[in-house]
Structure 1
């Protein structure tokens, strides 16, 4: 009777192990890969048409952020990047003063700009679209960032990955409606970033 009970327990343990092992392996294989943005190797710029003949570009040299990617499930990716609006740079003092002022970024009241991407759709091994929300001047709008990676971000994890991204927004949706006869409404934003695995 004792041997029978021991044998039963042994078989039960093996059965439980067989049931749990695939779950454990799946959980390990789908663990999120986390990155931190390398601010020293990253930059973002915003270019806007000027008088319909040329353009002016502002730059945001200071930022921080994190990226989380799940292998095999890019739709579960999370991108969270914050730009320091107070550190904005412009090609001339007049433009800088206006951009920092109440009619544009109003950095005194809204010192940061934030993009939170909640899903990554890969269109190839190194290209995709990140959908999420951009918050600027206290207004949040849905936006899409087209991205190009230097490698497959869902297969990395042990090495840094760089990417470039572009999106076009309408500044009027963020309460920036001044100087429409001089400054274009469509703003092209470009992001270059280097992600370092945690």
Structure 2
């Protein structure tokens, strides 16, 4: 009788562990976020966000329960030239003195196939929070995650900068911002 109880307890524990979330943190040295916008209708400008932090929680048996939290340090953003950099950091765009971070919190992962999906979440920039969708492609299917190996993904999101209060220079700077990321998540 004791043996059957022990086996039952071990089986129950294995089921609980199989559904336990796997925790990861962003490997900042191997991750990158850029934001590209049309400029004068014939060119583009790209800003980079080299300083960031983040975490991901994945449940391999139910990827829909995935959670993501990525914070970009807007004060450290980079731009192709000094004038663009000053404008981006200034009051008319990111206003980094008042809003030093940009944040994306993903609450739901919808897989389209084994490696591609959409993360539904909230983007906060310049004090404005809006629902956004990050299209992602995983290097390996997240359902195969074990918690012992890194997870690498690439993602893309398009936003309207005006919805975040960045309305300046509308005649020369496009309104659609193409955000791209490459993220390497390592076990926490």
TM-score, L = length of structure 2: 0.94
Unaligned runs of 5+ in 1: 1-9
Q: Distance in 2 between matches of 1:159 and 1:73?
A: 18
Aligned to 1:98, which of 77, 87, 111? 87
Aligned to 1:56, which of 19, 41, 45? 45
- Say which one has the larger Rg: 1
Q: Distance in 2 between matches of 1:93 and 1:15?
A: 71
Q: Distance in 2 between matches of 1:61 and 1:134?
A: 18
Match of 2:36 in 1: 47
Deviations 1:19-40 (A, max 9, x none): 6555322211111111110001
CA contact (8 A) 2:63 2:142 kept: no
Aligned to 1:191, which of 173, 181, 184? 181
Q: Distance in 2 between matches of 1:87 and 1:14?
A: 60
Q: Relative to structure 2, which stretch is displaced further, 94-103 or 21-30?
A: 21-30
Q: Distance in 1 between matches of 2:174 and 2:82?
A: 19
1:68 is the counterpart of 2:57: yes
Match of 1:128 in 2: 117
TM-score, L = length of structure 1: 0.89
CA contact (8 A) 1:50 1:183 kept: yes
What root-mean-square deviation, in Å, do the aligned CA atoms of Structure 1 and Structure 2 show?
Answer: 1.5
Aligned to 1:28, which of 5, 13, 17? 17
Unaligned runs of 5+ in 2: none
How far 1:153 moved relative to its partner? 2.1
1:182 is the counterpart of 2:172: yes
How far 1:154 moved relative to its partner? 2.7
Q: Distance in 1 between matches of 2:103 and 2:150?
A: 22
How far 1:18 moved relative to its partner? 6.9
Q: Secondary structure at the match of 2:130?
A: strand
Tell me the matched-pair count.
Answer: 187
Q: Secondary structure at the match of 1:185?
A: strand
Deviations 1:29-78 (A, max 9, x none): 11111111000111100000111111100000111100100011111100
